[in-house]
Amino acid sequence: MDDLQFRRSIYADPKSTDPDVVSAKLNDPAKQKFAQELEDFDLQIAKAMQVPVPEGLSQKLILRQSLASHQQQTRKSRIRLALAASITLAIGLTVSQLQFSHAYNSVADYAIAHVNHEAKYFTNEDEANVTLASLNSKMTSFKGSFSDTLGELMMADFCRFDGMKSLHLVYRGRTSPVNVFIVPDNDYMAFDKQFSSKSFNGVVSSYNNSRVIIVGDKQEPLNQWQEKLNQGIRWAT
């Protein structure tokens, strides 16, 4: 197992018991150290999320909403309102920092950050050898299947999309890789059907229980990719 494939597997599951992953760790101290670091990091996140709800948090939140409607209060009441709002905001920020799994507010922000982070691991010259059977075995987690690989598929593996188990596909594009994320539908991350950054464009399709996010460089015809994926994926009803 090469270093790139090992890292993909460990990113997806730091405690993987896959024989190839286990063998790679046993034969390479560096891989073993890397896997242990990710496992330790997962443990730190789990411990961080086990934070008890601060005493009186619900009352403070209710107080903040109630005080907002009383615009004719005395100066002393306004001071209490400001203090209650400050306390609630401080608690909210603290809890948000501890819950690493929801660090982004929009699909666009996280998708672009994810692509930028993993850009060094993929090139347009990587071997495209992912089979349709392998792809569809992973798609069962999302109650869908592909009628074809729909292009030169260089990678198909599970990843974490802002804490959610998702499927990350990397296709050969015109000039650089095209990234496709299949993620569970959710309410906390806002999304637009189209988004862009300095280097990338993105489009999003929404289905009953999933979203398909496509990210490519400025030269890539993403609408064509979106059409191929819309026609090539069958979703269970």
User: Can you give the pLDDT at residue 100?
Assistant: 37
Q: Do residues 229 and 204 lie in contact, with contact meaning Cβ atoms separated by under 8 Å?
A: no
Q: What is the pLDDT of residues 115-143, one digit of tens each?
A: 988 888 889 999 998 999 999 999 999 99
Beta bridge partners of 164: 161
Q: Report the first-to-last Cα separation within the chain, whole angstroms.
A: 38
Query: Which one, of 228, 180, 237, lies nearest residue 209 by Cα?
Result: 237
Alpha carbons 57 and 91: distance in angstroms, whole number: 8
Predicted confidence pLDDT, tens digits, the chain (237 residues): 677 777 777 777 877 777 777 887 788 888 778 778 877 777 777 676 666 666 666 666 676 666 655 555 545 454 454 445 444 444 444 444 433 345 567 888 889 988 988 888 889 999 998 999 999 999 999 999 999 999 999 999 998 887 888 999 999 999 999 999 999 887 777 778 999 999 999 999 988 789 999 999 999 999 999 999 999 999 987
